Amino acid sequence: MNLIKPKKLNKGDTIGILPLSGAVESKTNILRAKKYFENKGFKVVLSENIFDNHRYLAGTDEKKVEELHKFFANPKISMILCARGGYGAIRLLDKIDFNLIKNNPKIFAGYSDVSALQAMICKHTGLITFYAPVAQGDFGVEKNSKFSEKSFFNTLTNTNYLEFSPDKRKSKVYFEGKSEGIIWGGNLATIVSMCGLDFIPDEKFIFFAEDLNEEVYKVDKMMTQLLNIEKFRNNLSGIILGDFFGVGNKKYFDELFFEIGEKIQKPILSGFKLTHARDKITMPYGANAELSTDTRILKIKKYLED
């Protein structure tokens, strides 16, 4: 894959905030996020559908895609930040003009449900995107996380390599080893919902996963479903795990990933702040990376342009 590195974020750049999944639940939070970035020295544009509501969705699929295309085509916008996750991104995948995105590369950031879009952008364009905090639930809250803020700006302004280490209190090696590949994955349930589409990378990848309120047997089912796909098995180089809040029986969870490690014979390391919790890292999605369970370091190679 010929990776496309977006330009780094600079003070004075314009950030476009756009909902592509669930409907915005707090207008106050969106306006607070807008003010937050303006106070940091950025210009902010809100999409036309920012407060649209269609059932549980942020307006119609057609309007979402129209705004997405508009934001990518607008040369004045340097970064697109998703308003929130929830559900709805997978409904857009057959409507997106990926050539338009490929020809107008820029920072695209979000997490959870947004990983459906990130996986397909990676697959069809090679553009590196960012698994990152969102406007409503992270930058729009009354007191945002300083940890998340630091990781966000450090990742989006860094044109060299980047290193991530797991939380030592939570980190566990399920299978030892080293691996290389692009960083690919996201919210586990969202990634599995794409089965049936052509969404798996054609090259080696380090799979990252996190989720919320999924019992161990469901995590087992989803991982089994992915591992049953020949292309996933063949191109899988390693696994890093974020948080799985509400998973229930942690002993069963650990047993599951020890079992998966023995089955795939590839390194598996947990404890990364890829999460629905307040403190989260901003991870380059699709960038070349190296993983070692000996050092417990994930090294991301150059992923941004000056």
**Which of the following is catalytic: 21, 47, 78, 210?**
210
CB 37 within 8 A of CB 45: no
CB 13 within 8 A of CB 107: no
Positions of the chain with pLDDT under 70: none
CB 205 within 8 A of CB 236: yes
Token reading at 43: 């210009």
CB 132 within 8 A of CB 303: no
Name the amino acid, one letter, at 280. K
* Spatial distance between the Cα atoms of 166 and 271, rounded to a whole number of angstroms: 5
Name the amino acid, one letter, at 135. A
Annotated catalytic residue 124? no
Return phi, psi of residue 270, to 5°.
-110, 175
Which helix or strand (DSSP H or E) is residue 178 part of? strand 178-187
Identify the DSSP state of 138.
Answer: I
Q: What is 162-300's CATH number, 3.40.50.700, 3.40.50.300, 3.50.30.60, 3.30.70.100? A: 3.50.30.60
CB 270 within 8 A of CB 300: no
* Spatial distance between the Cα atoms of 255 and 199, rounded to a whole number of angstroms: 28
Inter-helix orientation angle 216-227/250-264, to 10°: 10
- Fold for 14-156, please state it: Rossmann fold (3.40.50)
pTM confidence score: 0.97
Token reading at 204: 């080696």
The predicted structure's pLDDT at residue 88 = 98
* Spatial distance between the Cα atoms of 209 and 61, rounded to a whole number of angstroms: 26
CB 10 within 8 A of CB 157: yes
Identify the DSSP state of 8.
Answer: P
**Which of the following is catalytic: 21, 47, 112, 151?**
112
Annotated catalytic residue 210? yes
pLDDT tens digits along 5-14? 999 999 999 9
Token reading at 268: 């598996």
* Spatial distance between the Cα atoms of 32 and 38, rounded to a whole number of angstroms: 10
The predicted structure's pLDDT at residue 123 = 97
**Which of the following is catalytic: 67, 151, 179, 276?**
276
Q: Collect all residues with Cβ–Cβ distance below 8 Å to 158 and sequence separation of at least 6.
A: 8, 304
The domain segmentation of the chain, as residue ranges, is 14-156, 162-300
Burial class for 165, CB neighbours closer than 10 Å (0-12, 13-18, 19+): middle
